[in-house]
Amino acid sequence: MPPPPSGGPAVSTSPALRRAATTVCIAGLVLAATATATAPAHAVPPTPISAATARSYLAGTTATAETHGDSYDRDLFPTWITISGTCDTREWILRRDGTGVSTNSGCTATSGTWTSAYDNVVTTNPSTFDIDHLVPLSEAWASGAWAWTTTRRRAFANDVSAPQLIAVSASSNRSKGDKDPAQWLPQASYRCTYARAWVQVKHDYALTVDSTEKSALTTILNAC
């Protein structure tokens, strides 16, 4: 064996050790490819506007009857789209709204805990939770989205920067359906937040409110 360079220790180049080193390297690559990615610290949907601001927005909105409801088609609101890396909208919201969430390389949640703000249901199985559009897509359609481009409807259906998407129990989401606040409300402790978020989304997207919807929201916000 030739002497080591610069007086350093001898490095064995025996076939057995080379094979062992190769095995370790391959094992490391496999582990790196299959390791789970841990989501950032627990976050919540973006904080909606204050009750005072919501009351102001609502007071300045003229109640308008909904239209075009019979022409609604969910396919007019493309979901889900890629938000970041390999994460689509559903996966992104599950990472955001859970605690201790880990995902695989495809961004599918493999562990974590989720609490539904609508009914306080807790789960460690994300398949039992839905991603709810706080202002339902059909409600948006009848409130003005019928006149939007597909691009704008796609943006609305996948808006993770507004308080419009939230991970909730499938049962509460099914109970809510496409109802507005005059027809359905979450548990009492979340109603003020829900009303503030509803008004913000409608205001930011220039969507209309009908008379019963406005009355219900006004009652909730006056108690906030």
What pLDDT is recorded for position 43? 54
What is this structure's pTM?
0.81
pLDDT of residue 45: 81
Rounded Cα gap, residues 136 and 155, in angstroms: 14
Residues 6+ apart with CB under 8 A from 123: 113, 114, 116, 129, 169
Task: Identify the pLDDT of residue 22.
Answer: 37
d(CA 150, CA 156): 10
How many whole angstroms separate alpha carbon 202 and alpha carbon 58? 10
Measured over the CA atoms of residue 108, residue 112, residue 116 and residue 122, the dihedral's sign is positive
pLDDT tens digits, the chain, 224 residues: what are they?
A: 444 333 333 333 343 434 333 333 333 332 232 223 333 444 568 999 999 999 999 999 999 999 999 999 999 999 999 999 999 999 999 999 999 999 999 999 999 999 999 999 999 999 999 999 999 999 999 999 999 999 999 999 999 999 999 999 999 999 999 999 999 999 999 999 999 999 999 999 999 999 999 999 999 999 99
Ordered by start, the domain boundaries in the chain are 48-222
Rounded to whole angstroms, the Cα distance separating 55 from 60 reads 9
Between CA 55 and CA 208, with CA 97 as vertex, the angle to 5 degrees is 30
Residue with tokens 């989401």: 173
Gap between the Cα atoms of 161 and 159, Å rounded: 6
